[in-house]
Structure 1
Amino acid sequence: MPQTETPDIEAASRARLRWWTELPLILLVYACYSAGRLLARGDVSSAVDHGLTILRVEKFLHINAEHPLNRLFTREAWLGIPADFWYASLHYLVTPAILIWLFRSRSAHYRAARTWLMTSTFIGLIGFTLLPTCPPRLLSAGHGFVDTMAQYSSYGWWGGEASAPRGMGGMTNQYAAMPSLHVGWALWCGVMLWRHGRTPAAKAAGVIYPLVTTIVVMGTANHYFLDAVAGAAVMGVGFLLAPLVNRAADHAKAAFADRSGSVPSISGVAPVSEVSAVSEASAVSRVSGTSGGSSPSAAPGDARAPIVSGGCQTSTGERIPRQRDARFGSGAEPSASPTDAGDGAPAPAR
């Protein structure tokens, strides 16, 4: 069954998260991702050797699915062109769209999901640095791959250097193939849609999107099958580490608040002053909200006992049923007026 959040949880999560703090954080992580891809270029010959090693392992295990897919996308333009658009755009559109959707509609789950994505991305950057890998499309023609991005470049904004716009190929690292964060991010999006989507269409998209992305990255010769497997593994490790990262962030916030002399509100727990104010308000409401409409007697010696109807006055001659009358103690309404004997005639003078 789809998971739902109560309004109280949603409101508490929204109170702790603000878009003007989340947006710079996400932009910082993406800048690190882009810079890491550029800095981790590595040696081209080493990258080619790593790519050939992966290809040999796949052939030995008979899992080199990228070969038949690449031949199909090269031969059938009606498949190859949409696949190139898919590869060049959705990676940068769907992921932020899912983040915004979680922030606005599933805020109780947003922080954990965001931390999972960012932790996995940093792990991927480590992989780019330690294992620069030449993608299939950059291997020599004798290995049987065709660069569909270059073949169909006239249909899109990209040139012959990955999915970067024409003239900006130098701003991307073409040897950052292992692991495939295209597949990793798509898997994250699929899990979010499956877990938090409330319609069958959303859950179906959660299954289709990562599967199609995996086929696309292999068919366009941008990744090996093992790159896709590594991308999924990176997301798994990031999922396990995300709770630890969140706890470390909470401890860091608490330590910073202690040094600055303020009382933090962690995990939705209100500060002591707010709890005291709520308790005091509850006590006042219990004193003034007695049953039967009668107010409690003032404590001995207390000249300022709380008055239920303080500030509320009636017009001359107007009486409210069972209203307390100063002339008759705190009992019920008198049965007759002191000037009325019950028959409408004035009472005899005493």
Structure 2
Amino acid sequence: MTNRRQPPRWWAELLLLGLVYGAYSGGRLLARGDAGLAVEHGLAILRAEELLRIDFERPLNRLFTHHGSLGIPADFIYASLHYLVTPAVLVWLYRRHPRHYRPARTWLMLSTLLGLVGFTLLPTCPPRLLDTSYGFVDTMARFSDYGWWGAEASAPRGLGSFTNQFAAMPSLHVGWALWCGVMLWRYGRHPLARALGVVYPTTTALVVMGTANHYFLDAAAGVAVMGVGHLAARALTARAGGFRGKSTIVSGGWDTSAGELLPAQRPAAQNAADDDASAAAR
């Protein structure tokens, strides 16, 4: 018997998440791809956006470049919140909403692994690495004196070789922020938490485009990956439930197999069975 309301053990979760993130980080490095191919993919995305008139990253990048009061905070947001907010929401779910932690964690992990597939199949040069003739400015390089990063995305100076700058499609900055937003909106009890559930993913989408780290279609793909990951997590959960078979829910959130009795119920049930046997004998 297991208590369905209890989250898994914290050390097991920490180990699992660490393994998944390690595989994700290592996979990003292995999926660097050819630079020429990545540039071709980036330009193809940009041309498609221009054709559809959805190249929103252009005006945003100009705005963030010309106004340091927007560009510098955006660079800090891009370089840090991605790695701080997501673990914080995981811990919050684990401690405050243990019933919902496991499916939420599964959704996040599956979506992350799907994103890794995208990096492998479609290495993409972000706008900031295109030739300057395309009109994009790398705000993180421009304002690098204000932060710990250099000219290689959000990696600390001197560690650029440990990151894959062509892992742009899909944008998991946007995907993870959307996951955090859904969790805050769905389970947050205070209006401020629900407001942050809207503001955080929206701000992240604007930041990744304004800093020229992603195209609009990268952001849209990040949302799509989270959608597919959610469906996959639901299917996996339903399949796992089918393997467990039918169960009977009893007080306190405990479940038993069909026909199984709790220890306290067994003596009474046995006595009733003995009385029935005696009556039949008479």
1:169 paired residue number: 160
Give the alignment of 1:85-96 within 5 angstroms. Answer: 85-96=76-87
The residue aligned with 1:275 is: 261
CA distance in 2, matches of 1:248, 1:28: 23
Tell me which protein shows more helix as a share of its residues. 2
1:237 equivalent to 2:223? Answer no
In structure 1, stretches of 5+ residues that fail to align are: 1-8, 255-266, 285-350
Taking structure 2 as the reference length, the TM-score comes to 0.87
Superposed CA deviations along residues 268-327 of structure 1, whole A, max 9, x for unmatched, are 52479983413147779xxxxxxxxxxxxxxxxxxxxxxxxxxxxxxxxxxxxxxxxxxx
Check conservation: 2:4, 2:255, Cα contact below 8 A: no
Structure 1 partner of 2:194: 203
Q: Deviations over 1:190-219 (max 9, x none)?
A: 000000000111111000000000000000
Provide the C-alpha distance between the structure 2 equivalents of 1:213 and 1:171, rounded to a whole number of angstroms.
Answer: 23
SS state of the match for residue 69, structure 1? helix
Cα distance in 2 for partners of 1:58, 1:281 equals 72
Q: Check if 1:13 corresponds to 2:5.
A: yes
- Give the 3 Å change call, closer, same or farther, for CA 157–268 of structure 1 in structure 2: farther
**Which runs of 5 or more structure 2 residues have no equivalent in the other structure?**
245-252, 271-282
Residues 281 and 155 (structure 1 numbering): CA distance in 2 closer, same or farther, change over 3 Å?
A: farther
> C-alpha separation between the residues in 2 aligned to 1:205 and 1:93?
15
Pairwise CA distance, 1:20: 1.0
Residues of 2 paired with 1:199 and 1:236: CA distance?
26
2:75 alignment partner, SS class: helix
**Alignment CA distance shift 1:21-1:275 (3 Å):** farther
Q: Partners in 1 of 2:240 and 2:26 — Cα distance?
A: 24
SS of the counterpart of 1:121?
A: helix
CA–CA distance in structure 1, aligned partners of residues 257 and 134 of structure 2:
65
Deviations 1:39-85 (A, max 9, x none): 10111100000000000000011110101110111110110000000
- Tell me: CA distance 1:13–1:276, structure 2 relative to 1, closer, same or farther (3 Å): closer
Aligned residue identity for 2:5? S
CA separation in 2, counterparts of 1:166 and 1:274? Answer: 61
**How far apart, CA to CA, are the structure 2 residues paired with 1:185 and 1:179?**
11
Aligned: 1:132 with 2:118:
no
What is the aligned-residue RMSD (CA, Å)?
A: 2.4
